[in-house]
Amino acid sequence: MERALPLFDRVELDRIKVERARLLEKLRRGHVDARTRIHREDMLKQLTAQQIEIELRLGMASRS
């Protein structure tokens, strides 16, 4: 069963996951110049960090 999360965190986490999936798909497709690819990779890193931060704050992340 999924743990109940504060509404703001749940909405933010869902938004981040959707955006990360979109960026990953764009990176997999390729066919862009280096500047665009680097920008997308940087955005992906930022979103991943935000996702980890929220999950740690909520105690959802696995602690390996």
Task: For tokens 């997999």, name the residue.
Answer: 28
What pLDDT is recorded for position 1?
43
What pLDDT is recorded for position 7?
72
Helix (H) or strand (E) segment spanning residue 2? none
What pLDDT is recorded for position 2?
56
pLDDT in tens, the chain (64 residues): 456 667 778 889 999 999 999 999 999 999 999 999 999 999 999 999 999 999 898 887 665 5
DSSP code string of 41-64 = HHHHHHHHHHHHHHHHHHT-S---
Domain assignments of the chain as residue spans, ordered by start = 8-54
Structure tokens at 50: 């935000």
